[in-house]
Amino acid sequence: MPTRSTVILGTGSYAPERVLSNDEISQTLDTSDDWIRTRSGIRERRIAAPNEATSDMAAKAAQRALDDAGLKATEIDLLVVATMTPDLPMPAAACIIQRKLGLPSTAACFDLNAACTGFVYALDTACAMLSSGRYQKALVIGAEKLSTIVDWQDRTTCVLFGDGAGAVVVGVSPEPDRGLLGTRLGAFGDSVELLYISHGGSSSPSTPESIARREHCMRMKGKEVFKLAVRVMDEAARDILEQHHLHADQISLVIPHQANLRIIEAISEYLEIPMERFFVNVDRYGNTSAASIPLALDEARRSGRIKTGDITLLVAFGAGLTYGSALIRW
Ligand code: ACO
């Protein structure tokens, strides 16, 4: 159990200006707006500019979260960035974001990769570090430029993903019953090959041949991922509710990972929580991986869907296959 309660003090998000519609994708690929919408619920996604890196989007979302919290960058002593598309293979995107935001050199800064579950993992990590008493104020960011790792010739994947960033500022609270109530994290390493990039890492560095075969791009077995996603998100949500002796009725809003509207609808049915209590923006952004939950969280807060005293459930799954859930009392 945490020794100090941790609360979200501010939220922020950023989506690139460029909107890529289903119709536009259909002009160069054998797909259609109708297929994409009915299978995934996605209408459009945002695509970062060529000179706009993950760190640029992350820094903008983070600055908005700092402004919302009424804090200066110099007051942050911990930065955790969830991403699988850092600016560079090394160093961590967190250090580049630190420089862009002007965080002090005494701040701990690192990246964490749990794919689409990244934000929930990062939030748990930051809150545990704050609870320990060794850190006071954390920035937790989820940011992705997935447009650089999808294969734009593969209609089974490229239509599903988009770019963006979301951030929260976390601090400690004197009220024990507020803030992050708990998390439930896990992974199914046996299923790595359901969703992965086979080349470009230490086991298989990219070669001209592997690049010609487009093996530096994401590959996914969509149907298997879909089934596993529904099962693990349902279980992760049930487990955490049970751990905290809460009933689904007590959850004011569920913020699920925004991968596919059909996955969200299936979870709503299994958990018996109506869709009105799910926050959905996958139609406008597609799947932005680690950015998806903090982007949705920020939009939910700013549109008045979260009030003091409410309990929000976050639930996610991603490559790995990782999964995670979190409960937050506001
Ligand atoms: N446009 C038109 N047709 C298409 C497209 C497309 N974009 N993509 C696939 N098809 C075709 C297929 O080739 C197939 O044709 P066939 O029957 O002639 O072989 C047909 O449509 C049906 O394909 P399925 O894969 O069976 O379609 P399904 O209903 O399963 O939907 C989808 C596919 C949307 C990918 C779904 O399986 C899904 O959402 N899976 C989960 C994906 C996901 O959420 N991934 C994110 C994980 S999180 C992370 O960490 C990144």
Instruction: Give me the pLDDT at residue 166, please.
Output: 98
Say if ligand 1 is within 6 A of residue 82 CB.
no
Superfamily the domain 180-329 falls into = Thiolase/Chalcone synthase (3.40.47.10)
Kindly indicate whether the domain formed by 5-176 is annotated with CATH number 3.40.47.10.
yes
Say if ligand 1 is within 6 A of residue 197 CB.
no
pLDDT digits (tens, 9 = 90+) for 237-258: 999 999 999 999 999 999 999 9
Indicate left, alpha or beta for 73 from its phi (over 0: left) and psi (-120 to 50: alpha): alpha
One-letter amino acid at 302 equals R
State in Å: Cα 155 to ligand 1 middle. 8
CA pair distance 218, 222, nearest whole angstrom: 12
Instruction: Give me the pLDDT at residue 122, please.
Output: 98
pLDDT digits (tens, 9 = 90+) for 84-102: 999 999 999 999 999 999 9
CA pair distance 67, 169, nearest whole angstrom: 10
Among protein residues, the one whose CA lies closest to atom 46 of ligand 1: 259
Q: Which parts of the chain fold into alpha helices (H)?
A: 22-26, 33-40, 54-69, 93-101, 118-131, 208-212, 222-243, 261-271, 282-285, 292-302
Instruction: Give me the pLDDT at residue 274, please.
Output: 98
Q: Where are the domains of the chain?
A: 5-176, 180-329
Ligand 1 atom closest to residue 320's alpha carbon, by position in its atom list: 50
Ligand 1 atom closest to residue 32's alpha carbon, by position in its atom list: 1
Residues of the chain with pLDDT under 50: 1-2
Single pTM value for the model: 0.96
Say if ligand 1 is within 6 A of residue 156 CB.
yes
